[in-house]
A and B are shown apart, each in its own frame.
Chain A
Amino acid sequence: QSALTQPASVSASPGQAVTISCTGTSSDVLNDKYVSWYQHHPGKVPKLIISEVSNRPSGVSNRFSGSKSGNTASLTISGLQAEDEADYYCCSFTSTYTYVFGTGTKVTVL
């Protein structure tokens, strides 16, 4: 199975919004329901920020939102803050009961 495709990097100024796309090669790879997103600061543990396409776990800022259309899932970070600078990964549960991660996107706050 191939990794889900994400842009290598996105950047924006503080206070602006960024959207990260996550594209699967087929509808089987990008699950209708079980798409999750992770924030990963280098040297630290990945953190779940979105589950089931658009659900925010308790304690996660409402500046993070998720959506999905067809074979593409998206993560939007609004009101960008310096602390949001990190790597972001999407992940999908597939029809063969496996998981596949995205290629990762580096978010830079200008």
Chain B
Amino acid sequence: QVQLQESGPGLVKPSETLSLTCSVSGDSISDYYWSWIRQPAGKELEWIGRVFMSGSTNYNPSLTSRVSMSIDTSKSQLSLRLTSLTVADTAVYYCARERSGGFNSWGQGMLVTVSS
């Protein structure tokens, strides 16, 4: 059974860059699309983007100018980079595996707070 685990800083300052990693175990990272999804407190889920093993990406149009994703198949890790942070980026960030147009496996989620 696949397991996903997000890691990174829990506190980041405004205007800085967030870098998160998702470590995948229990299954191959290949042959799937992997997404990042976030949820600010009290708000709905927001899809950030996705990455394939080839490095191909798709991003949420509202975030595309600030987001980049990559994948390291040798380490079974995904990475998310989000620049020019504001308090509005404070959220729980999830990585998830995509299958048949849905997200069937999720990490536990990581709270990222943007504050000075």
Asked, given contacts A1-B62, A97-B58, A99-B35, whether A52 binds B47 with beta carbons under 8 Å apart, the answer is no
For the complex, is B34 an interface residue (Cβ under 8 Å from A)? no
Cβ A99 vs Cβ B47 within 8 A: yes
| Number of A-B residue pairs having CB atoms within 8 Å of each other in the complex | 69
Chain B residue with the shortest CB-CB distance to A89: B45
Total interface residues in chain A, CB < 8 Å: 30
Rounded to whole Å, the gap between the CB of A60 and the closest CB of chain B is 11
| Inter-chain contact A48/B109, CB cutoff 8 Å | no
The answer for the CA separation of A52 and B23 in the assembled complex, in Å, is 27
Chain B minimum-CB-distance residue to A1: B61
Name the residue on B nearest A99 (C-beta): B47
Q: A1-B60, A45-B94 are in contact. Are A101 and B102 (CB under 8 A)?
A: no
Which size bracket describes the interface of B in this complex?
Answer: 20 to 34
Q: How far is the CA of A38 from the CA of B94 in the complex (A)?
A: 14
CB of B115 within 8 A of chain A?
no
- Chain B residues 29-83 with CB under 8 Å of chain A are 35, 37, 44-47, 49-50, 58-62
Contact of A100 among B47, B100, B103 (CB under 8 A): B47
Q: Which residues on the A side are within 8 Å of B26 (C-beta)? A: none
- Beyond A1-B62, A45-B109, A97-B58, whether A51 also contacts B101 by CB under 8 A is yes
Bound Cα distance from A98 to B104, whole angstroms: 17
The contact string, 1 if C-beta is below 8 Å from chain A, for chain B 81-101, is 000000000000010000111
27 A-B residue pairs with Cβ-Cβ distance under 8 Å, sorted by A, are: A1-B62, A31-B101, A33-B101, A34-B100, A36-B102, A38-B103, A45-B109, A46-B94, A46-B106, A48-B102, A51-B99, A51-B104, A52-B101, A55-B100, A57-B104, A89-B45, A91-B45, A98-B47, A98-B49, A98-B59, A98-B60, A99-B35, A99-B50, A101-B37, A101-B47, A103-B44, A104-B44
Q: Which residues of B pack against A, CB within 8 Å?
A: 35, 37, 44-47, 49-50, 58-62, 94, 99-104, 106-109
